[in-house]
């Protein structure tokens, strides 16, 4: 069993991005600039957003955090998005999800200028991704592809089972892995809450992607010997054993599944860290006007 080490990959990739940004600036390019909107004080969102801001600083990307209380109305949030869309210095604009229930995530996502949509959540970017046009690929699926590439995991003709069909992970990663080329050309099966005999399906997987958001759902008897297991889930559980008072659980029961795998991602220290890196890459792509010249 080999660990797919998100921490190591993220550190490596930050150095690469930092030198790319430095070179771009040296050639007269602008300082890439990411704006993040954070509504409310959800603990997980606070952690993820501060991770993003710190990572931006490490690679030389400028970042701006715009905070609102969770009683903000949709109209006011829209107004801010419009302002940032029109601000020529901002290359990337993201609104951290989830949003309070009185705000429509769909309306907000659609309000972001597609050229600044470095989250790749806008229907236009998703549609372009589906038909293979240049587009921003959302950070979590892009992070998964990066792990697969950097560890030279072969995907062509492999059976890839995705558990979960969310718009931000399950749906896009299943499309990306069935595309022509590498990483892709896989035979992809998407499973969800209505799938019958789930275990009979997951046991076929050469590559198993768990993205359903239920802690330790994937057990050893659901995984084929030698499979590659990618754990996207990240659930916070109260714990008296840790300093922070929290512990993080993936969607995979790591201790019993790991011995069966050829490769497996840990939680924490796996996909989440690459999500942040993929966002940095998209922001640089935007500053360089690569996707939308």
- DSSP count for the chain of H helices, then E strands: 10, 11
Closest separation between CB of residue 196 and ligand L34, Å? 29
Strand order in the sheet with 62-68: 62-68, 33-39, 92-95
Distance in Å, CB of 13 to ligand L34, minimum: 14
Compare residues 275 and 283 and give the one whose CB is closer to ligand L34. 275
Say whether 238 sits in a helix, a strand or coil: strand
51 near ligand L34 (CB under 6 A): yes
Contact letters for ligand L34, residues 230-249 (x by CB under 6 A): ----x-------------x-
**CA–CA separation, 252 and 259 (whole Å):** 12
Contact 72, 101 (CB under 8 A): no
Q: Which is nearer to ligand L34, 50 or 156 (CB)?
A: 50
Name the DSSP class of 131: T
Residue 169 C-beta: closest distance to ligand L34, Å:
9
Please identify, using beta-carbon distances, which residue of 145 and 201 lies nearer to ligand L34.
145
- Which of 35, 72, 95, 249 binds ligand L34 (CB under 6 A)? It is 95
* Segment contacting ligand L34 by CB under 6 A, of 193-201, 206-214, 252-260, 265-273: 265-273
Q: Nearest residue to ligand L34, using CB? A: 272
Annotated active-site positions, please? 52, 96, 119
Cα distances (angstroms) measured from residue 212 to each of 132, 191, 228, 277: 26, 9, 17, 22
CB of 7 to ligand L34, least distance (A): 7
Least Cα distance to 34 among 68, 54, 64, 55 occurs for: 64
The owner of tokens 């659901």 is: 222
56 touches ligand L34 by CB under 6 A: no
């Amino acid at each position: 069993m080999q660990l797919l080490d998100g921490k190591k990959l993220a550190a490596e990739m930050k150095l690469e991005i930092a030198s790319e940004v430095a070179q771009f600036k040296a050639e007269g390019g602008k300082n890439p600039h990411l704006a993040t909107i954070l509504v409310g004080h959800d603990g997980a969102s606070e952690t993820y957003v501060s991770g993003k801001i710190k990572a931006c600083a490490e690679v030389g990307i400028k970042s701006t955090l715009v905070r609102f209380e969770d009683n903000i109305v949709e109209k006011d949030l829209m107004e801010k998005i419009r302002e940032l869309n029109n601000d020529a210095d901002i290359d990337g604009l993201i609104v951290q999800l989830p949003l309070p229930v009185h705000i429509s995530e769909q309306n907000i996502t659609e309000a972001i200028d597609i050229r600044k949509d470095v989250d790749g959540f806008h229907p236009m970017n998703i549609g372009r991704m589906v038909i293979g046009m240049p587009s921003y690929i959302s950070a979590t699926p892009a992070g998964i592809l990066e792990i697969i590439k950097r560890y030279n995991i072969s995907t062509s003709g492999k059976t890839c089972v995705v558990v979960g069909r969310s718009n931000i992970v399950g749906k896009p990663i299943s499309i990306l892995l069935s595309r022509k080329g590498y990483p892709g050309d896989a035979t992809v099966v998407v499973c969800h809450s209505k799938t019958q005999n789930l275990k009979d399906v997951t046991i076929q997987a050469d590559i198993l992607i768990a993205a359903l958001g239920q802690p330790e759902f994937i057990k050893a008897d659901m995984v084929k010997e030698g499979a590659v297991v990618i754990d996207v889930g990240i659930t916070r559980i109260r714990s008296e054993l840790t300093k922070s008072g929290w512990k993080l659980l993936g969607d995979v029961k790591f201790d019993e599944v790991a011995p069966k795998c050829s490769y497996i991602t840990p939680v924490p220290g796996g996909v989440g860290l690459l999500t942040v890196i993929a966002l940095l890459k998209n922001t640089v792509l935007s500053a360089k006007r690569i996707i939308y010249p």
